[in-house]
A and B are shown apart, each in its own frame.
Chain A
Amino acid sequence: AQSVTQPDIHITVSEGASLELRCNYSYGATPYLFWYVQSPGQGLQLLLKYFSGDTLVQGIKGFEAEFKRSQSSFNLRKPSVHWSDAAEYFCAVGGSFSGAQKLVFGQGTRLTINP
Chain B
Amino acid sequence: KAGVTQTPRYLIKTRGQQVTLSCSPISGHRSVSWYQQTPGQGLQFLFEYFSETQRNKGNFPGRFSGRQFSNSRSEMNVSTLELGDSALYLCASRLGGNTEAFFGQGTRLTVV
Contacts and interface: CB of A to CB of B under 8 A. Distances in A.
Chain B at the A interface: SS class: strand
Contact of B100 (A34, A105, A107): A34
Given A99-B50, A105-B43, A43 B105 contact: yes
Chain A interface residue bracket vs B = 20 to 34
A47 to B, nearest CB: 11
Interface string A23-40: 000000000101010000
Given A46-B102, A96-B97, A104-B45, 15 more contacts: A34-B100, A42-B105, A43-B90, A44-B90, A44-B92, A44-B103, A46-B101, A92-B43, A96-B98, A100-B48, A102-B33, A103-B43, A105-B42, A108-B42, A108-B43
Contacts of A49: 100
